[in-house]
Structure 1
Amino acid sequence: MAESKTVPTPIVVRPPFTFDRRLFDNATLYRSIVGGFNYLAVTRPDIQYAVNRNLELSVYSDSDWANDMDDHSSTTGNLLFLGLNLISWCTKKKTRVSHSSTKAEYRAMEAVVVEAMWFHHITDAL
């Protein structure tokens, strides 16, 4: 690493405004291209930075309060998206009974925020 040289990487300063959502006709070619990009992103940190710079982390959570008729516990779920890609999801039946639907929603938000903070921490460490 002591003899490393920097190389400029062309990168768009702003994220694109539109996405082309057409499907690929050749699934094998698509998988081959994505595999090649994954290999480059792992082996070349400059390319990894350029590819991941414009992605945003989005989180969603929901809870149904005391829906289980046996023990009146809540079920929560959360989703984490990096750009348009789903990277983490969870559905869990809670062990404690919430006293209100608001408290159940807060507990669901707490779980997804913890997950998002963990993901943010490990990606900053890279």
Structure 2
Amino acid sequence: MTVTFDLNRLIATRLTEIAEAAWRDHRIMPIGDSDGRVLQIGTAATRERWVCGADHGTGVCGEPLLTHRQTAELLGLLNEDEPVLDPELPVTDVELLDEGLGGFFPGSLIHFSDVGREYRKAQG
């Protein structure tokens, strides 16, 4: 008996599980490629992939969330650097698909306002 796996179905199932857990546990949700806003800081830009639906005490947030890699790229940092040292809003840890490494790995999601604040601090 030969067992076959449909890799695309396996990845899609895992992405759905991650999205459901992220909403249930943190009130964040993924954004489809065609639905995300283009986020720009200085001359760098990236596409929104996650959005925060949590209430941080002032109503539903609705702010874009950036991965560690997106944040580092917008701020012009090496990927190993910690891009935002003192965020005002909670950083959320979730499992992310890293297409460069070819798998799912723990990652952090950072509010766009904290990334912008970090950029302004670096600009003086």
Higher strand share: 2
The normalised TM-score by structure 1 is 0.23
Q: Max radius of gyration: which structure?
A: 1
The normalised TM-score by structure 2 is 0.23
Higher helix share: 1
